[in-house]
Amino acid sequence: RLPGAAAELTPELRQLVARSGRALALGRGGRHAAAERTLREVAGSLARRQAFELAATTAMSLGRVLLERGRAPAAERAFEEAGQYGRSSGVTGVEEDARLWQATARIDTARLTDAESVARAVLLANAPESVRHRWAHAVLARVLLWQGRVDEAVVSSLPVIQGVAEPGDPVVTASAGAMAVRLLVASGDLFHAGLRAHELIASTAGEVDPLPRLIAETAHLRVLTAAGELNLAEQRLDEIVRLARAARSPLRAARAYVIWHDALCQAGRANDAHHALTRVSRMSRVAPTLLKREIERRMARLPVAGAVVSVGRFHSTHVVPALVPSLVRLAQEEEDDDAALKQLTERVGRELQTVRLDLVSNDAGPTSVLVSVGAGLPTQLSGRVVEAGITIADEVGGGREIGVPIRLGTRLLGALTGRWAFDRRPSGSAQEVLEIAAAVAAPRLETLLAGRRETARSSTSVPELIGVSAAIAEVRRAIERAARAPFAVLIEGESGVGKELASRAVHQLGPRRDRKFCDVNCAALPDELLESELFGHVKGAFTGAVADKPGLFEEANGGTLFLDEVADLSLRGQAKLLRVLQQHEVRRVGETFSRKVDVRLVTAANRDMRAEVAGNRFRLDLLYRLDVIRIRVPPLRERPEDIAILADHFWRASSARVGCTATLTHGVMSALASYHWPGNVRELQNVMAALAVAAPARGSVRASRLPAAITGSARVTSCRLADARAEFERRCVEVALARAGGSRTRAATALGLSRQGLLKTMARLGFETSSG
C-alpha cells in the first residue's frame, strides 16, 4: 500500500510504484529473493528522485517481507532506511511507522531495551487517541511480556490497546488486537480474552491478505489452549497451518506449534508434545533469535529414548536433587549477603566444572559483575540475558556459555552465566542447575542490592547538592530523613547556599513526589497581595479580581509548598499563615467558607529565626509550627573541599553554552579555593559564567581572567593607611550585603549600623546608593 495520489505522480514514478506492487505479488507467490531485490531497487530509485514518502513505504514493505522470513537483522536495516526516508519526506507519521517496525524487528533479535526505548519515544510523540499510539502500546506490551513485566504491561498498555480500532493497516490492527488478547490471557481474564479473539476473527474475515486472519486465529489458539479446550485448539491449529501456507509465513506456524506444544505438556500428553515440537525443530536454524531460543529450550528438555545423559563424573538424572539441599543451606546459613552469594556461586561452579561463573546485575545502571568465580574475561551472554530477561544457551564458542535470569516474583534482578572450556561442553543438566541456583540466590541478591542502594543513596539521591565534604553529606542525609517524615521542614542558611535545591530534594524524595511543588518568595509579597497569592480570591473580591483564582495552598494540595525567606513575612501575614497551619484549611479572599487542604510545608530563611523571635519580628508560635525538622545548609567557606568540584561543574555547564573548549589551569583553581565566597554557591556559579564568556575559545584559562576580588590583585593598591582602611571597610560592606541577599537594612544590622549610617558609608566608599 503506497501513499500519494495517483494524479500527483509522474509517469516515471507511476512505473516504479507499479513495479513495487509486482514485487509484493512475487513475495506472496513465494519468490522472495526476486521480491527483495526488486523492492530494494525501487526504494533506491524513488529516493534518488526525491520521492521520499514513496521510498519510505517501499523500504518498509521490504522490511516486512524480510521480517516474515525470519531475517530480523536485515529487516531492521530496511526499517532504518525507511525511517531516514520518512524524515526527509517531512510527512507526519512516516518516520514513526518505520521506527515501530524497527522496534518489532529488534524484539525478534532480543534487543528488548532498544525496542522499548523506540516504542516509548513514539508514544510521547503521538496523540493518545491516534492509531499509531495504540500500535506503539502493542509493541511496548510485547517487550514487557518478554521481559517478564506482565503486571506493568497489563496496567499501562491493555486499556489503550483494547480501545476501538480505527481503520488502518490490517496487519497492524490485527497485531494490536492479538496483543490485547495475549494481555487478557496473561491477566487471567479468559472470558474477555475469548470475546476479543472472536471480535478479531470477525473483523479480519473479509481480508484478502491471509496474514491478518492468521494473526487472529493464532490469538484465538492462545485463548483455547489457556482454557484447556484442546480439541477446539487442534482445529484452530489446522486452520493456522493452512493460512500460514497461503501467507508464505512458516514462522508464524512455528510460533503456533510452540503454543500448542506447551498446552500438550500442561495436559500431560508428552508424546503428542514431542511430536508437535519435532515438526518445528528444523525451523530453529532459520528462526529469529527469540523464537529460536524458545524452540531450542523446549528441545533441550525432551528425553532421549533408551539413553541416560552422562557427562563427566555425574549423571543428570540425580545431580539436581543432590545439589538443591546444599545450595539452600548455603543461602540460609551465611549471614553476610556477599559471602552467601560467593559460596553459592563457587559451589555451582565446582559442580558444573565451569571455567568462569558470573553473577551480574544492572540494578544500579549498566550491567556489572557482582560475584565471579574462575578466570578469564567476563562472560559474554550476561548483558544479553539481563536485557532480554530469558535464558540464553549455546550462543558463544559452539555452545559453551549458558545464562539464566535471576528473578524474584516478576522483578528481574540479574543473571547467572557460566562458561565452559573449549574441550568440554555443558552437561545436560547444566541449565537446570543454573536455574535452581538463580532461584535460591534471588532473595539474597535482592537484599544485597537493597543494601547497596541504601548505601549509595546519600551521595546520589540529591544530585543537585554537589560535593564530597562531610558537611554536604550530612545535609543529604538530613534531607533523606526529612523527606520520609510528614512534618514541616525549616531550611536555614545564608543567601546562595542552595536552600531551594534542598527544598525540591525534600519533595522529590518524599511520598508526595508525584504531586505538585509550588514555591514563592515571601520577601517579594507585599501585604496587600499576600492573601490573594497564598489563599486565592473570588471574582469581584477587589478591584482587578476579574476571575476566581486559587491560591498557592490550593494549587499545592496533596503536594509541597515552599516559602522562601519566610522571615520577611509581616506580622499580619504570619498570623494568617498560622491559622492555615492550625486548621488545615484556607479561605479565598471574598469567600464565606473554607476549603480543606493537605500541604507539606517547607520554609527557608537566611537569618537566625530564634534571633528574629527575640527581636519581636517573628511569632514564636508560628516558628514552633515551621521548625519541626530543621536542616542547615552550610556556607561554601565551611566546605572548601567542594569548591573545586562545584567550579568544575559550573565551568562545564557554562563553557558548553558559549561553545568554549578551554580548560581551567591550576592557578584558577587555587585562586577559587582561597577566596572566602560571601555570595556562596550562587556567586561561584556567576563567576564561572562570566569566566566562560571572557575565556578564549580554546587553550587554557589563567587566573588573571578572574575578578580582582578573587585573585587579590585589588587588595594591594596603596601603602597609605587611609587607603588600606577604606579597602577593608569596602570588603566588610560587600560581605554583609552578600550575606543579607542585597538587603541594606539587614546588612546594616549585621554591621552594627543604622540604615542611614550604612548608606553614608557606602556613599563615602563609592558604592551606588541611588536605589534600594
The amino acid at residue 293 is R
CA–CA separation, 128 and 106 (whole Å): 24
- Three cell numbers written together for 50: 526525491
CA–CA separation, 534 and 587 (whole Å): 10
Query: What's the whole-number mean pLDDT along residues 491-502?
Result: 91
CA–CA separation, 230 and 252 (whole Å): 19
| Residue 484 clears pLDDT 90, i.e. is over it | no
Query: What's the whole-number mean pLDDT along residues 65-86?
Result: 87
What are the start-end ranges of the E strands in 246-326?
A: 310-311, 314-315
Whichever domain contains 622, its CATH number is: 3.40.50.300
Q: DSSP states of 79-132 as a string?
A: HHHHHHHHHHHT-TTHHHHHHHHHHHHHHHTT-HHHHHHHHHHHHHHS-TTSHH
pLDDT of residue 410: 73
How does pLDDT run across 307-352, given as a tens digit for each residue?
Answer: 333 333 333 444 455 677 778 877 777 778 888 898 899 889 888 8
- For the chain, how big is the Rg over CA atoms in Å? 35
Please give the residue range of the domain that contains residue 613: 470-634
CA–CA separation, 432 and 399 (whole Å): 16
Query: What's the whole-number mean pLDDT along residues 617-630?
Result: 93
User: Could you give the number of structural domains in the chain?
Assistant: 5
How does pLDDT run across 665-700, given as a tens digit for each residue?
Answer: 888 888 888 888 888 899 999 999 999 988 888 888
In terms of domains, do 614 and 642 share one? no
pLDDT of residue 310: 35
CA dist 272 → 240, 653, 665, 673 (Å): 18, 66, 76, 78
pLDDT of residue 731: 76
On whether residue 290 sits in a domain, the answer given is no
CA–CA separation, 530 and 518 (whole Å): 15
In terms of domains, do 426 and 481 share one? no
Query: What's the whole-number mean pLDDT along residues 563-575?
Result: 91
pLDDT of residue 371: 87
Rounded mean pLDDT of the chain? 82
- Three cell numbers written together for 233: 485448539
pLDDT of residue 632: 94
On whether residue 414 sits in a domain, the answer given is yes
In terms of domains, do 533 and 646 share one? no
In terms of domains, do 515 and 610 share one? yes
Of 178-182, 415-419, 456-460, which gets the smallest average pLDDT?
456-460
Q: What residues pair up with 491 in beta bridges, in sequence order?
A: 604, 631
In terms of domains, do 501 and 518 share one? yes
Query: What is this structure's pTM?
Result: 0.46
Contacts 24+ apart (CB under 8 A), 36-44: 36/62, 36/65, 36/66, 39/65, 42/16, 43/81, 43/82, 43/85
Confidence of residue 287 (pLDDT cuts 50, 70, 90): confident
Helix axes 289-300, 250-266, angle to 10 degrees: 30
The number of residues in the chain equals 772
CA–CA separation, 655 and 648 (whole Å): 10
- The closest of 530, 622, 635, 501 to 567, measured between CA atoms, is 622
How does pLDDT run across 264-286, given as a tens digit for each residue?
Answer: 887 778 788 888 887 777 766 67
pLDDT of residue 309: 34
How does pLDDT run across 223-253, given as a tens digit for each residue?
Answer: 888 888 888 888 888 899 888 888 888 888 8
Contacts 24+ apart (CB under 8 A), 666-674: 667/702, 667/703, 668/701, 668/702, 668/703, 668/705, 668/706, 669/644, 670/703, 671/703, 671/706, 671/710, 671/711, 671/712, 672/643, 672/644, 672/647, 672/706, 672/710, 673/640, 673/643, 673/644, 674/712
- The closest of 554, 467, 476 to 515, measured between CA atoms, is 554
Q: Which of 574, 605, 634 is the last residue of a domain?
A: 634
In terms of domains, do 377 and 502 share one? no
On whether residue 565 sits in a domain, the answer given is yes
Of 346-355, 418-427, 477-486, 712-721, which gets the smallest average pLDDT?
712-721
Stated as kind and residue range, the H or E segment containing 591 is: none
Interstrand relation of 517-521 and 560-564 (parallel, antiparallel or unpaired): parallel
Instruction: Report the share of the chain in percent with pLDDT over 70.
Output: 88
Instruction: Report the share of the chain in percent with pLDDT over 90.
Output: 12
How does pLDDT run across 359-377, given as a tens digit for each residue?
Answer: 988 775 556 778 888 876 6
Q: Contact at 8 Å (CB) between 488 and 601?
A: yes
| Residue 717 clears pLDDT 50, i.e. is over it | no
Positive or negative torsion for Cα 145, 150, 154, 156: negative
Positive or negative torsion for Cα 668, 670, 675, 676: positive
Query: What's the whole-number mean pLDDT along residues 247-263?
Result: 85
In terms of domains, do 677 and 544 share one? no
In terms of domains, do 580 and 494 share one? yes
**Residue of higher predicted confidence among 626 and 10:** 626
On whether residue 464 sits in a domain, the answer given is no
CA–CA separation, 45 and 58 (whole Å): 11
pLDDT of residue 84: 87
pLDDT of residue 209: 84
pLDDT of residue 619: 93
In terms of domains, do 361 and 440 share one? yes
Whichever domain contains 656, its CATH number is: 1.10.8.60
In terms of domains, do 619 and 661 share one? no
Contacts of 473 (CB under 8 A, 6+ apart): 458, 459, 467
On whether residue 544 sits in a domain, the answer given is yes
If 0-12 CB within 10 Å is exposed, 13-18 middle and 19+ buried, where does residue 58 land?
Answer: buried
CA–CA separation, 358 and 367 (whole Å): 11
Q: How many CB atoms lie within 10 A of CB 703?
A: 18
- Three cell numbers written together for 690: 562570566
On whether residue 618 sits in a domain, the answer given is yes
Interstrand relation of 489-492 and 629-632 (parallel, antiparallel or unpaired): parallel
Confidence of residue 595 (pLDDT cuts 50, 70, 90): confident
Confidence of residue 715 (pLDDT cuts 50, 70, 90): very low
- Three cell numbers written together for 501: 535545591
Interstrand relation of 560-564 and 600-605 (parallel, antiparallel or unpaired): parallel
In terms of domains, do 353 and 478 share one? no
In terms of domains, do 487 and 610 share one? yes
On whether residue 230 sits in a domain, the answer given is no
Q: Which of 85, 101, 132 is the last residue of a domain?
A: 85
pLDDT of residue 459: 39
Query: What's the whole-number mean pLDDT along residues 297-301?
Result: 69
pLDDT of residue 400: 75
Confidence of residue 394 (pLDDT cuts 50, 70, 90): low
| Residue 458 clears pLDDT 50, i.e. is over it | no
CA–CA separation, 604 and 568 (whole Å): 11
CA–CA separation, 20 and 356 (whole Å): 52
pLDDT of residue 312: 33
Confidence of residue 9 (pLDDT cuts 50, 70, 90): confident
CA–CA separation, 587 and 594 (whole Å): 4
Query: What's the whole-number mean pLDDT along residues 581-605?
Result: 88
- The closest of 260, 299, 281, 288 to 388, measured between CA atoms, is 288
pLDDT of residue 48: 87
How does pLDDT run across 101-135, given as a tens digit for each residue?
Answer: 888 888 888 888 788 888 888 887 766 667 788 88
Stated as kind and residue range, the H or E segment containing 350 is: helix 337-352
Q: Which of 634, 649, 664 is the last residue of a domain?
A: 634
State the first-to-last Cα distance of the chain, in angstroms, to the nearest integer: 71
Whichever domain contains 328, its CATH number is: 3.30.450.40
Q: What residues pair up with 392 in beta bridges, in sequence order?
A: 403
Query: What's the whole-number mean pLDDT along residues 487-503?
Result: 92
The amino acid at residue 579 is R
Query: What's the whole-number mean pLDDT along residues 464-489?
Result: 88
Of 205-214, 285-294, 656-665, which gets the smallest average pLDDT?
285-294
Confidence of residue 304 (pLDDT cuts 50, 70, 90): very low
Instruction: For cell 482454557, name the residue.
Output: 227
On whether residue 211 sits in a domain, the answer given is no
Query: What's the whole-number mean pLDDT along residues 37-53?
Result: 88
pLDDT of residue 453: 66
Positive or negative torsion for Cα 723, 728, 729, 735: positive
CA–CA separation, 141 and 388 (whole Å): 14
